[in-house]
Amino acid sequence: LAKTTQPISMDSYEGQEVNITCSHNNIATNDYITWYQQFPSQGPRFIIQGYKTKVTNEVASLFIPADRKSSTLSLPRVSLSDTAVYYCLVLSGGYNKLIFGAGTRLAVHP
Amino acid sequence: GAVVSQHPSWVICKSGTSVKIECRSLDFQATTMFWYRQFPKQSLMLMATSNEGSKATYEQGVEKDKFLINHASLTLSTLTVTSAHPEDSSFYICSAEYGTGDTEAFFGQGTRLTVV
């Protein structure tokens, strides 16, 4: 499983766009990039998943460059409720054994 | 999305007793479920993979005789912490695989275990 590296913490303010970048230099050809969000005392929640280029849903966008060695989760116009830990994971296609890294603790301020 | 429910949400038990935590997939069948443990301010640590009808696969360093996992049906996996001690106090979370080849995991809400 490819190892991921992401910032330990980030601060932002309400209404700003937040970009969290994750490095996964050893990503394999069949691997997907997945992001999860976790609030305190809750289980993680799936945010977005992608393989290459750009993926967008109602919550976030995921940008993946051509070499796929990194990815950026973009949260548009964050609010206080987006304060959470965000985990970047790389998983092999069809395999759900998720190994979590340290994650990025995002704090959104008024 | 698919729903995974854990019970109880929190439990306090005395040192030396055993505690059972249930993980249910409410609207789908899960042949594979995963159990995680999370200490305060730390990430999730995978403990074991639970497969319906077979023995669980434990991660290195996880005592299988202490953390008993049973996956007797396609919608229920249980984790029993045997002879609990204060150092077992943690947040236990399960996840379920929605379907074969699907790469989105659904997590339960977690169970806060406090051993006193």
Q: Which residues contact residue B21 at a Cβ distance below 8 angstroms, ignoring those fewer than 6 apart?
A: B6, B7, B8, B11, B78, B79, B80, B81, B92, B94, B111, B113
Contact B103 A32 (CB under 8 A): yes
pLDDT of residue A108: 98
Give A93-107 pLDDT, tens digit per residue. Answer: 656 678 899 999 999
Give A41-75 pLDDT, tens digit per residue. Answer: 999 999 999 999 999 999 999 999 999 999 999 99
Give B41-96 pLDDT, tens digit per residue. Answer: 999 999 999 988 889 999 999 999 999 999 989 899 999 999 999 999 999 999 99
Answer for the pair A97, A34: CB distance below 8 angstroms, yes or no: no
**In this predicted model, which residue has the larger pLDDT, B72 or B108?**
B108
Contact B49 A91 (CB under 8 A): no
Q: Which amino acid is at B29?
A: Q
Q: Collect all residues of chain A within an 8 Å Cβ-Cβ radius of residue B103.
A: 32, 34, 49, 91, 93-96
Burial class from Cβ neighbours inside 10 Å (0-12, 13-18, 19+) for residue B60 reads exposed
% chain B with pLDDT above 70: 94
Burial readout B96-114 (b: 16 or more C-beta within 10 A, e: otherwise): bbbeeeebbbbbbebbebe
Burial readout B6-16 (b: 16 or more C-beta within 10 A, e: otherwise): beeeebebeee
CB of A49 within 8 Å of a chain B CB? The answer is: yes
> Comparing C-alpha atoms, which of A27, A39, A13 is closest to residue A103?
A39
* Continuous segment of H or E residues that includes residue A46: strand A45-50
What is the average pLDDT value for chain B, to the nearest integer? 92
Q: Collect all residues of chain B within an 8 Å Cβ-Cβ radius of residue A101.
A: 43
Strand partners, A89: A34
* Continuous segment of H or E residues that includes residue A75: strand A70-75
User: Per-residue pLDDT for B2 more than 90?
Assistant: no
CB of A29 within 8 Å of a chain B CB? The answer is: no
Contact A49 B104 (CB under 8 A): yes
Give B25's pLDDT tier (boundaries 50, 70, 90).
Answer: very high
**In this predicted model, which residue has the larger pLDDT, B98 or B65?**
B65
Burial class from Cβ neighbours inside 10 Å (0-12, 13-18, 19+) for residue A10 reads middle
Nearest CB partner across the interface for A43, out of B32, B46, B107: B107
pLDDT of residue A30: 86
pLDDT (mean) for B21-49? 93
CA distance A87 to A20: 10
CB of B106 within 8 Å of a chain A CB? The answer is: yes
pLDDT of residue B27: 87
Contact B101 A94 (CB under 8 A): yes
CB of B43 within 8 Å of a chain A CB? The answer is: yes
Mutate to test the interface with A, among B44, B46, B94 (most CBs of A within 10 A): B44
pLDDT of residue A99: 85
pLDDT of residue A97: 76
Cis bond upstream, residue B8 (ω within 30): yes
pLDDT of residue B103: 59
SS3 content of chain A, % helix, strand, coil (to 5): 5, 50, 45
